[in-house]
A and B are shown apart, each in its own frame.
Chain A
């Protein structure tokens, strides 16, 4: 899926503001952002449900606004909660969507029901289903299409912890079978666990798109140090060029530094007769980075230094609210 300059305006309100996305084959792609950031609107445009005010979306090179249903071949999923006919049973609902898919979708109904463990309840009307059961039925309906791209909008919302675990397991398994997954989620640990690439949107604009590992590396250029003499080591850190925010806590010392400076620092510590017991990089959690990008001052740093939001490195790109994309080196 590729989006270029995607804009959606509702009168004066700009819900989506020139969003670019690149979901590559095989990605488990996390799509993150606070409520009202424009995630769902973007997904609706991707599925051809709403028309972009500007820009284009392509699914396997096909524009859903121009090609209609033909553009959705190989694509399945749901936006917001999956919706079904409450007066029909789960099986009838799946028969309906399978009929609208054509091909051999009808023959995969039992398989799909088994995958989401709803076969024993398939004869029940969906009106009596819990939210979690409807979410699972939504996945089953998506699987009937044998998708190559699965678009899931908050699939774990409303699930109990076991349901969330099972949903993660299912997504992981589908990804392992080669399905590209575009996962919009508020569950940051879920995204951190499942996704390899992410886009973070805020106020309708992408503030980061790229590899999750790269983002974490950049946001987490800090190190944990334990030495034979933390007091002297702290003094040395404070005076060493390229090291910042050095502090002590009950677990030892914490500081920020360029990777290349850490080598020099370890030599300096040894030269001062301070033994290094442990020195390990501390990666920021996705949650930390998410809040920094969407609420804070944008202080996500490049791997190579303490550059603020707008500078970047690695494979991803961090974009300021008023600045064009800054490609990562």
Chain B
């Protein structure tokens, strides 16, 4: 090391005025930069991009027109490209999007704990609450990105293949392409409500388990478990309160008039899942010993 001088304040001098403490937004920006710099981030997004493209190619190759027995949107695949993103959301919302969101949410704290970098950031000038808030926001951002990327790819691929034509809603009314596009956007936005609840649970598990793999598997495992519970005969009364049942609440938008009941139900119910999970994550993170790495 050189003898280049780094000027250090003299120990006996009074504490110098400090610059402004970093904002949570600054910490959040760096969380995003970390996400952007990791290959894992792109793995999840690649799955989300590949599946709609693969779906459209497969439909083109097989030229199956008569799918009326499946769903109203399946029957319209080749009539309008705008049916594709709706169908993709139906398919991906149950497992793939929760999985992709869990990859980041479950990893975001545990990974840093395991690598010891949590010590590095917690010995700087930011509070633990700021660090956790930034990580939660980053996990949410990733989930939002995954959902809208999937919607965008599905829409583009569908429109390229089958055109920008009107679609028929779940109520049987014809929806013009521009309005359909708005509904697709709004449906994906509404789907984010339960998905962010899943991400919140992922962050909690990431804080508690301190193990990335365990947190990711436990998050997606809990989604599968709840889905299994929902299918058990005799538990019909519990279904409206299960998180996975909210994954289809967005379909209320695709009825005429809009069916708000499942949407509002989903909103408050998901808040009941997400807020306690985030509060618990905060309390644990605030008090926990950080000795990993």
- The distance from the CB of B89 to the nearest CB of chain A, in whole angstroms, is 32
Number of interface residues of B (CB under 8 A): 46
Closest partner residue, chain B, to A170 (CB atom):
B1
- Give B1-56 interface residues, CB cut-off 8 Å to A: 1-13, 15, 18-22, 26-27, 29-30, 33-34, 37-39
Contact indicator B11/A50 (Cβ below 8 Å) = no
Contact indicator B8/A101 (Cβ below 8 Å) = no
B62 contacts partner chain A, Cβ-Cβ < 8 Å: no
Contact indicator B125/A72 (Cβ below 8 Å) = yes
**Segment among A113-121, A210-218, A301-309 that sits at the interface with chain B:** A113-121
A308 to B13, CA, bound (A): 41
**Segment among B90-98, B116-124, B167-175, B260-268 that sits at the interface with chain A:** B116-124
- Chain B residues with CB under 8 Å of A184's CB are none
A74 contacts partner chain B, Cβ-Cβ < 8 Å: yes
Most buried by B among A73, A100, A174: A100
Contact indicator B37/A115 (Cβ below 8 Å) = no
Residue of A49, A97, A141, A146 touching B8 (CB-CB under 8 A): A146
Known: A100-B124, A115-B1. A180 touches B116 (CB 8 A): no
- Chain B residues with CB under 8 Å of A166's CB are 1
Most buried by B among A79, A99, A180: A99
Contact indicator B120/A25 (Cβ below 8 Å) = no
Contact indicator A77/B1 (Cβ below 8 Å) = no
B279 contacts partner chain A, Cβ-Cβ < 8 Å: no
- The distance from the CB of A260 to the nearest CB of chain B, in whole angstroms, is 37
A49 to B26, CA, bound (A): 22
B221 contacts partner chain A, Cβ-Cβ < 8 Å: no
- Chain A residues with CB under 8 Å of B11's CB are 25-26, 148-149, 178-180
- Chain A residues with CB under 8 Å of B22's CB are 99-102
A96 contacts partner chain B, Cβ-Cβ < 8 Å: yes
Contact indicator A178/B18 (Cβ below 8 Å) = no
**Segment among B73-81, B144-152, B284-292 that sits at the interface with chain A:** B284-292
Most buried by B among A76, A103, A111, A117: A103
A47 contacts partner chain B, Cβ-Cβ < 8 Å: yes
Contact indicator B15/A49 (Cβ below 8 Å) = no
Known: A69-B127, A114-B4. A87 touches B37 (CB 8 A): yes
Enumerate chain B interface residues (CB-CB to A < 8 A): 1-13, 15, 18-22, 26-27, 29-30, 33-34, 37-39, 115-117, 119-128, 287, 289-291, 293
**Shortest 5 CB-CB distances between A and B: which pairs?**
A103-B19, A178-B10, A83-B116, A50-B289, A100-B124
A-B contact pairs, 24 of them (CB 8 A): A44-B289, A47-B123, A50-B290, A76-B123, A78-B119, A78-B123, A79-B119, A80-B116, A83-B115, A83-B117, A97-B120, A97-B121, A102-B18, A102-B19, A102-B22, A108-B6, A115-B1, A115-B4, A115-B5, A145-B125, A146-B8, A146-B9, A170-B1, A179-B8
Other than the given A143-B6, A148-B15, 18 more pairs (CB < 8 A) read A49-B289, A80-B116, A84-B120, A92-B33, A99-B26, A100-B22, A100-B124, A102-B18, A102-B26, A102-B125, A111-B6, A114-B2, A116-B1, A136-B1, A173-B5, A177-B10, A178-B9, A179-B8
Enumerate chain A interface residues (CB-CB to B < 8 A): 25-26, 44, 47-51, 60, 68-70, 72-74, 76-88, 92, 96-97, 99-105, 108, 111-112, 114-117, 136, 141, 143, 145-149, 166-167, 169-170, 173-174, 177-180
